[in-house]
Amino acid sequence: MKQQRILYIDPVGVEVVEEGLRFLTEQKQEGTELTLVTLPRGPEHLEYRYYEALVLVDILHLIKQAESKGFDAAVIGCFYDVGLQAAREVAERMAVIAPCEASTHIAATLGDKFSIIVGRRKWIPEMVENVVRYGMKERLASFKSVDLGVLEFHRDEDETARRFREVGQEAVERDGAEVLILGCTATYGFYRELQEELGVPVIDSMIAAFKTAEFAAELKNRLGWSHSKIGGYESPPPGEFSAWRLEEQYDFGDIKTWLQRAKKP
């Protein structure tokens, strides 16, 4: 089978975290070529909708660029699944995947109910909206918050692990969860120990999205199953972009050549 090329977008304006990259690379299939990029600009986390708004256009342009460079699938690596539907609208031949959708789909096949462990209460309403949209509301046992911001998960990893364990146990014993999801891609690396300690599957949402992207790429390449272009994911007509001179109106920054410079593992 032909190689499949996957782009993992960590949609924040920071350097690529080498540890995260290694973490993903370990899990890739042999035939997969993985490229991980962060954005050339942007906030350092996306806890607020305002920050999501800032990075949204850059994500979409990255998606278009990846598509034109022959990528088979892209991951938008934030558990808010920021811009997932817009990305599927603009992509015409490439699969787009995001962590919340991927994780809840997997969790729903592993048990009856799952809980999602998040950093802060603030995140929950937007995530609930996604869980509902994905049809998984009846499978949701609870959201559990550990009261840590995105940038704090790796500050004191023992403390983070302790909090995950505490709320995870509560979710399993009190809320009826049979599976747990770590509801932030920045929580990579914690799932395996937690899984062993609690005796239930713990979904790392970063990996879940990446592996689902490999899966989606294969479905597209083999079977032609890609986003329907009739209805909600209809792409914008090519003429309007230039007729309205959108290129000139906005500063699209470095994003056009960004992929060339992206590090590969």
Residues 199-228 contacting a copy of itself, CB under 8 A: 199-201, 203-204, 207, 211-212, 215-216, 218-219, 222-228
Q: Which is nearer to a copy of itself, 108 or 117 (CB)?
A: 108
Q: Which is nearer to a copy of itself, 155 or 222 (CB)?
A: 222
Structure tokens at 238: 């090519």
Size of the site for a copy of itself (CB under 8 A): 92
**Residue 27 in the binding site for a copy of itself (CB under 8 A):** yes
- Phi, then psi, of 100 in degrees rounded to 5: -70, -45
Residues 6 or more apart in contact with residue 95 via CB below 8 angstroms: 72, 73, 74, 213, 216, 217, 219, 220, 226, 227
* In contact, 114 and 177? CB cutoff 8 Å: yes
Rounded CA-CA distance 76/10 in Å is 7
Site for a copy of itself in 125-144 (CB under 8 A): 125-126, 128-129, 132-139
**Residue 230 in the binding site for a copy of itself (CB under 8 A):** yes
Of 3, 68, 85, 257, the one binding a copy of itself (CB under 8 A) is 85
Give least dist CB 117 to a copy of itself, A: 15
Q: Which is nearer to a copy of itself, 13 or 265 (CB)?
A: 13
**Residue tagged 């949402």 (tokens):** 205
Of 157, 193, 232, 264, the one binding a copy of itself (CB under 8 A) is 232
Please list, residue by residue across 235-253, b when 16 or more beta carbons sit within 10 angstroms of its beta carbon and e when fewer do: eeeeeeeeeeeeeeeeeee
Which stretch, 15-23, 106-114, 163-171, 257-265, contacts a copy of itself (CB under 8 A)? Answer: 106-114
**Residue 259 in the binding site for a copy of itself (CB under 8 A):** no
The DSSP line for 77-111 is -STT-TTHHHHHHH-SSSEEE-HHHHHHHHHHHH-
Q: Which is nearer to a copy of itself, 95 or 146 (CB)?
A: 95
Site for a copy of itself in 145-204 (CB under 8 A): 172, 176, 178-179, 191-192, 195, 199-201, 203-204
**Long-range CB contact pairs, 125-128, < 8 A, 24+:** 126/49, 126/80, 127/79, 127/80, 127/100, 127/183
Of 7, 108, 116, 184, the one binding a copy of itself (CB under 8 A) is 108
* In contact, 81 and 212? CB cutoff 8 Å: no
Q: Which is nearer to a copy of itself, 253 or 262 (CB)?
A: 253
